Every structure is written in C-alpha cells, then in structure tokens.
Amino acid sequence: MLHCDILVIGSGGAGLATALSAYEKNANVIIVGETYPTRSQTCMAQGGINAALGNISADSPKQHIDDTLKAAAGLASERMVKRLCESAPETIFWLDAIGVPFSRTPENKIAQRRLGGTANTRACYSQDYTGLKILHTLYDQVLAHEIPCLNERFLLDLAVENNTAKGAFFYNIREGKIETILAKSVVLATGGYSGIYHGYTTNTRQSSGDGIAMAFRAGAVLSNMEFVQFHPTALKGSGILISESARGAGGTLINQHGARFTDELAPRDQVSRAIWQELVKGDQVYLDISHLGESFIDEYIPQERKLCLTYAGIDPVHEPIPIAPVAHYSMGGICVDQNHMSTINGLFAVGECANAKVHGANRLGGNSLLEIIAFGRECGVSATNYATQSTAPHPVSDRHIADRLQQLLELPQQQNFYDMRADTGSILYQKAGILRDKASLSFAKSTVEQITTQLPEMGIVDRGNIYNTNLIERLKFENSMVLARIVLESALAREESRGAHFRTDFPQQHPDYHKESISFLDKGHLITRFQEVVS
C-alpha cells in the first residue's frame, strides 16, 4: 500500500499542473493515470489558450471577464471568473518560461488568434497543436522533478470514510492487480463526460466521466450536469474536430447551395443550432477554408489539413469540409468551492471533471486550457495546505473492491455492452443533444434506465489479467451510464433554454432557473435540485 501527501488522479493538463504546484510546495505527490500522460485528451486541444495579452489588438482582463460571464449566461461565479481571467497573463508567462513553444509574431511577441464568442483576439497558440505542446512541456517538468507517475492504472473507486477522502483503489492494467494508494489529499483530474455521446463526440474513450461517477457514488455533489457543449465543426461521420481557429482565421460555413447562414464566430451553442437546423432540413453543411490559401493553412492550421486528408480524404485547400456538430465539452462536473475542494473533505477536483463555476451554461473556446493550468496550479496549493493540516490515513481494506471485480468477471454474456454503448451514444445525441424537449429526454431516460437494469447480463469475454481492455471498457461503460442518467435528470428538471441547454418546449431563459442544478445521492436515490450560484 503506497502513501503520499497528494494523490493526483488523471495525468492530463489539469493533473500535471496540480502535481507540479504541489511539488513546488514540497508536498510528496503521486500522479496516477489510465494512460501515459501524453495520451491524455489535453493533447487534442488545438485552437489556443486565452489570456488578455493584447499582443495583436487592444484587450484587457476586464473584457475577458465580460466575455466569459456573457457566455456563461448567469451561471458562473463572478469571483471565480475574475480570478481565472486576471491570472491568465501570468499563466501564459509561466508556460512560456517552462518551455511551451508558443507561436510568435514578427516582433517576437506571443501570437494570438480570435476564437468564437469573444470581442478580442485573445487565444495564444502553438500552431494548431496547443494542447499537445502544453502537455508535453508539463510532462517534461514532471520527469525533470522525478515526480512519480504511475501509468496504466485505472481508478476503480475512492476510499472515503466519514465524508473524508483517504485515498483510492486502482486496477493495474499491465498486471491485473488491485493497488491501493492512501493520501492526505486526493485530487480528481480525470477529465469530462462528453464521451457518453459515444460515436458523436470529439472526445476519446477516456471521457466516460469515471472520476465524476466515483465522486458521486462516494457522496459528492455534482452540478450543472445538463450543460454539454456541442462543437459546431466536427468532420462529418468521424467526430474529429476541425478547430475553431479555422473559423477564427476567416473560414466560412456554407450549406449545399453555397450560401452562408450564420455568424461563424457567434458562441458555439448558436452556431451549432444554426448548423443543426440546416442538417434537419436535409442540407449538407461545409466549412470552407480554401480561400485562406495553401501557405496560410500550412503555416497556421496544418493539423486541420492533415486531419481532413487522413480521415475524410478531403484537401481543404481545394474543397470545402463536410461537418456536423458533436458533443465536445462538459461544463458540469464535481461541484467545488473556491479552493477546488468538493463536498467531500480532502477530495479536490480540477479541470474538466470539476465545475469550478467559470463556464456556466457555455464555455468559451480557449478558456478550458486556461482553467486546467491556472486552477491546476491553485489546486496544488490548496491540496497541499489541506494535507499539511491532516494526519496520514490508516490502512483501508480493498476486499469489497476485489469482490466487486470478481462479480463483474463472472457475469454472463447475454448482451454485448459495446452494442449498448453505441445505442446509448446515438440516443443521447438524438434525444438529449443540441435540441431537446420533455418527450425526447424522457425517452432517452427510460432507455438508459432499461439498459442499466440489463448491466448484470453484460459480462465480458476476456477474463485475462494482462491488458484486459475488455474489462476496462466495461467498467467505463457502467460509469457512463451513471452519468447519462444524471445528465438526463438535470436536463429534464431545467425547464428553460440557457447556453448549451436548448429546450424546444421552453425556448426562453427563465429567471426561476438563474441557478445551478445540483445532483447527489440520498439513501441511494438520485436527487436533482437547484441552488443559487455562490459568487
């Protein structure tokens, strides 16, 4: 059984930033992740990271705050947004200092581009590989400081006693063993849950919301789970993202008649709805960047061209790109206070798995990378401060975890969970997607409930110990079903339209819902309520 001060679960940008800042405060840190850090979803972020540097045109933290609050549609905490946006320039200078190779202007300033929903040119970038470069640089730092990073360990459950986090249980994917790590502070940095829209998402399979599901089961409160952002421009059929930087650079959206039909740089929810309306009419929608020219595309957005060529056989230098909106980002998550601590003592959450009250009903492009670094660094400090005042937890038994795993291995294979996962993704996309109403959400809810009751019939084929991905995917599927139910309950409860949540039966915003939804377990039952957003 390993011990540490700070156990960071998840090795994406949020986890690594948290670990580095806790290390700087002399904490004894262990990072644990399902994959290698460089495969975390952060590496897929392309467009940029926001900070009001004003390197291209005039900008200010105040304008950044205003844009963020406007997109959030009343569901963000002004205090948290202010902290995020005011710390953004310093966050970029820190990343620059540790070696992130930001693209530069001819004057050697950090280059910036415009993304949607903003008044100014604010996103700092590394070509269109921004997340990858940030992640690799953070990982270099982790390696340089010899912070232990235990890879290919799957979080099975949290160890929580008397509403206090004590550590966590993992499945060592390489060896098929259960491992327990005890800690004074536990930080969840396990990413979002857009992966529940399986087959209709820009996210990887990692985004089944495991950490969120486990925090919920352990008694933590979740908030704003109905808010899932749909990115307007994914490559049709594959869900591969064509970055907003393409529209920021002047890319246009056209229908099959070649006509533009929306403001390409409006907030993502508006653009996605406009595209959806074209698609349901039977029209195809395209993103056209051909007029930007080959040299511009290869210099500034080379990845977009490569993705189109590789996954659709289309060269955007010469032809428009067929696109469709898909699930991209989860605004909801584990409800945290201003120190990034959940409602469970000593359990912190940061990055896309958390709702730190900065995105509200809609996230601005470029604000998530900012959040994972700025709040990751804050979270490392908070978790260290908490650990300093705590005593080392006493050993805990993993017997119940071993029993649960054994039961899962013994389940009959009457139903194929991979088919169920595909069905659930499709139903969520159609019925709880860009447009939703009571009937569609109720249908999705009863389907998800039915599939959940059939889980005991969905055994696995592979009973081996080494790299049993069949087992891991089955565990993830169960977590995603927990989250699907919470998303649907929250979406049903919010009888209004706000940001990314658009109810065709309640198309207006309503003052009664100028509140965040919260979801929690009470005596085994899911409860959904609304509460004021604490500012």
Ligand X SMILES: Cc1cc2nc3c(=O)[nH]c(=O)nc-3n(C[C@H](O)[C@H](O)[C@H](O)COP(=O)(O)OP(=O)(O)OC[C@H]3O[C@@H](n4cnc5c(N)ncnc54)[C@H](O)[C@@H]3O)c2cc1C
| DSSP of 282-325 | T--EEEE-GGG-HHHHHHH-HHHHHHHHHHH---TTTSPEEEEE
Residue 116 binds to ligand X (criterion: CB under 6 A): no
CB 494 within 8 A of CB 503: yes
Each residue 367-406 as x (binds ligand X by CB under 6 A) or -, in order, gives xxx--x----------------------------------
Residue 241 binds to ligand X (criterion: CB under 6 A): yes
What is the spatial distance between Cα 133 and Cα 472, in angstroms, rounded to a whole number? 28
Residue 304 binds to ligand X (criterion: CB under 6 A): no
Place of tokens 């696995």: 460
What is the spatial distance between Cα 24 and Cα 34, in angstroms, rounded to a whole number? 24
Interface with ligand X in residues 311-330 (CB under 6 A): 329
Catalytic residue among 153, 247, 268, 273: 268
What is the spatial distance between Cα 353 and Cα 73, in angstroms, rounded to a whole number? 20
**What's the N-to-C CA distance of the chain in angstroms?**
40
Q: Is 268 one of the annotated active-site residues of the chain?
A: yes
- Output the smallest distance, CB 57 to ligand X, in A: 20
CB 363 within 8 A of CB 143: no
- Output the smallest distance, CB 206 to ligand X, in A: 5
Residue 40 binds to ligand X (criterion: CB under 6 A): yes
What is the spatial distance between Cα 113 and Cα 122, in angstroms, rounded to a whole number? 6
Helices (H), 41-158: 61-72, 78-86, 88-98, 130-144
| Nearer of residues 2 and 493 to ligand X, judged by Cβ | 2
- Output the smallest distance, CB 350 to ligand X, in A: 7
- Output the smallest distance, CB 282 to ligand X, in A: 28
Residue 41 binds to ligand X (criterion: CB under 6 A): yes
| Nearer of residues 43 and 451 to ligand X, judged by Cβ | 43
**Interface with ligand X (CB under 6 A), residue from 124, 155, 159, 186:** 155
Which stretch in 47-55, 69-77, 91-99, 440-448 sits in contact with ligand X by CB under 6 A?
A: 47-55
Q: Which residues contact 522 (CB under 8 A, 6 or more apart)?
A: none
CB 286 within 8 A of CB 323: yes
What is the spatial distance between Cα 325 and Cα 273, in angstroms, rounded to a whole number? 9
Residue 248 binds to ligand X (criterion: CB under 6 A): no
Which stretch in 203-211, 289-297, 378-386, 505-513 sits in contact with ligand X by CB under 6 A?
A: 203-211
What is the spatial distance between Cα 493 and Cα 512, in angstroms, rounded to a whole number? 12
| Nearer of residues 142 and 492 to ligand X, judged by Cβ | 142
| Nearer of residues 210 and 264 to ligand X, judged by Cβ | 210
Residue 270 binds to ligand X (criterion: CB under 6 A): no
| Nearer of residues 133 and 445 to ligand X, judged by Cβ | 133
Interface with ligand X in residues 329-368 (CB under 6 A): 329, 351-352, 365-368
Task: Compute how many residues bind ligand X; rule: CB under 6 A.
Answer: 41
**Interface with ligand X (CB under 6 A), residue from 89, 116, 117, 131:** 131
**Interface with ligand X (CB under 6 A), residue from 191, 325, 380, 393:** 191
Tell me the backbone φ, ψ of residue 171, rounded to 5 degrees: -105, 120
What is the spatial distance between Cα 156 and Cα 171, in angstroms, rounded to a whole number? 6
- Output the smallest distance, CB 387 to ligand X, in A: 21
Q: Which residues contact 310 (CB under 8 A, 6 or more apart)?
A: none
Question: In terms of Cα–Cα distance, which of 37, 29, 34, 32 is closest to 12?
Answer: 37
Interface positions with ligand X (CB under 6 A): 9-15, 33-35, 40-42, 44-49, 130-131, 154-155, 189-191, 202-203, 206, 210-211, 241, 329, 351-352, 365-369, 372
Q: Which residues are catalytic?
A: 268
